[in-house]
Amino acid sequence: MLRSYRISVIGMGYVGLCTAIAFASKGYTVIASEMDAEKVDKINRGISPFYEPGLNEALTEALRSGRFKCTSNTEMAVLDTDITFITVGTPSKPDGSIDLHYVKESAKEVGSALSHKDSYHLVVVKSTVIPGTTENMVKPILEETSGKVCGADFGLCANPEFLREGSALYDTLNPDRIIIGEYDKRSGDILEAFYKEFYAEKTPPIIRTTPVNAELIKYANNAFLATKISFINTIANICERIPGADVTIVAKGIGLDKRIGPLFLNAGLGYGGSCLPKDLRALIQYSKTLGYEPKLLEAVEDVNKHQPQRAIELCRKLLGELKGRRIAVLGLAFKPNTDDMREAPSIAIIRQLLEEGAEVVAYDPAAMPNAKAIFKDSIKYANSAIECLRDADCCILVTEWDEFKKLKPEDFIQNMRRPILLDGRRIFDPKEFSQKIKFMAIGLGIGNPEKAEEKNLQYQK
């Protein structure tokens, strides 16, 4: 089918590369621009710079089709296309506020390319940016560097992205909704027409609104998800103090209420990743600049900051002093099916274990290279879950990869010095495991804490 638009995408991170490949997979010509030369080289050789299920295969296919290429030349990418998506990173500054310098730089490059372009062009800000960025920062930069007028010579939209790492390609092809924050009607019409062509009969609900609303929808969305997680972790922490209580049953019970819903109610060691923590911080800082103290959001962040500590506290309950103990950490990525370790709870947990003098051995199916860059030789690295368990005094399950769900109590008994397991993500059946090994889990009331200490003594004999 003849596609009506040629697309450029600036910034080949999780969002940019997955978006670009999804567009190419549906027949669009896509030129990607990335400032990191090493990434450009990898991508053009069909190797994704990060782990994302199915992405290497889809990238290879896109390159083979001749509809996709990656360059470090943003000007060329923009000039040869009709719509440019800006998907560069928007990290946190040390005070938690948003760092927009990648957005600024990319807008300058896009604008200077537009100065050489005669035909109308649409610029779409897909990066997560605080309300007002598209109109008050991107627009003036584009106008200044292009010498053109927004709304007349080129169009502009804010179009936040909601994909999840680990299912990024699927999410890009099957979004729940599309949010179009249009600077003017013509810009919104073009973006809507593009998405309707791209998704055809699978087009989800489209909301057309102002750029400010679109930008805020993204923050409100992530703040709500973070709130759900910190909420259920709060309930989990209460459950741990009630003999016989179990947060997974409580979550199931409340999740069946249609007003609440079952998703994002898995108690654990807290959220991490490149989005929820930084977006929540940015929204808090932004609210403060407006003169509003967002107390609820601050509490959500505070709960999350302390949640990885629960692993250490429970570990101490199980082992007493951690000094000299060998702790097996299963799972390092902030969630399964990704190698992303940005703000992963495993980092805080491992650092604390090391501080208390424990010896740490870790394993993750995808994140080992990223882990090695963070922890260097301060911890040991295993090649499998079983190797990780060998001779350990305690195992902490930190990331709920499917392959860990297959572990049986016997694996812990046969390989560990002492079969002691702390389930930080609630993937193991407490009944089965607590009958055979010493077992604790987030959100699981263990009964009388003294009894746990007694059990502990028995293991130490």
Ligand X SMILES: NC(=O)c1ccc[n+]([C@@H]2O[C@H](COP(=O)([O-])OP(=O)(O)OC[C@H]3O[C@@H](n4cnc5c(N)ncnc54)[C@H](O)[C@@H]3O)[C@@H](O)[C@H]2O)c1
- The catalytic residue positions are 275
State which residue, 125 or 397, has the beta carbon closest to ligand X. Answer: 125
Cα gap 62→51, rounded to integer Å = 17
Three-class secondary structure of residue 407 per DSSP = coil
Is residue 15 within the footprint of ligand X (CB under 6 A)? yes
Kindly state whether residue 304 participates in binding ligand X, applying the rule CB under 6 A: no
Cα dist from 304 to 34, 92, 340, whole Å: 33, 17, 18
**Total residue length of the chain:** 461
Q: Indicate the SS3 state at residue 241.
A: coil
Structure-token pair, residue 359 = 């010896």
Stretch that binds ligand X, among 83-91, 324-332, 403-411, 415-423 (CB under 6 A): 83-91
Between 158 and 360, whose beta carbon lies closer to ligand X? 158
C-alpha triplet 400, 347, 431: angle, nearest 5°: 35
What would the x/- binding string for ligand X be over residues 119 to 148, using CB under 6 A? --------xx--------------------
Residues 35-64 that bind ligand X (CB under 6 A): 35-36, 39
Q: Which is nearer to ligand X, 87 or 230 (CB)?
A: 87
In the numeric block, which tokens belong to residue 160?
A: 């936040």
Is the separation of the CB atoms in 271 and 202 below 8 Å?
no
Q: Is 350 in the site for ligand X (CB under 6 A)?
A: no
Residue 227 contacts ligand X per CB under 6 A: no
Nearer to ligand X, 339 or 364 (CB): 339
Position 410: which residue type? E
State the distance between the two ends of the chain, measured CA to CA, in whole angstroms: 72
Distance CA 398, CA 280 (A): 22
Alpha helices in 30-87 (DSSP H): 37-44, 55-65, 74-79
Name which position in 11, 268, 270, 277 contacts ligand X (CB under 6 A): 11
166 scored as a contact of ligand X (CB under 6 A): no
Q: How far is the CB of 428 from ligand X (least distance, A)?
A: 28
> By rule CB under 6 A, what string of x and - marks binding of each residue 258-297 to ligand X?
----------------xx----------------------
Contact 27, 7 (CB under 8 A): no
Contacting positions for ligand X (CB under 6 A): 10-16, 33-36, 39, 74, 87-90, 102, 105-106, 109, 127-128, 161, 163, 165, 274-275
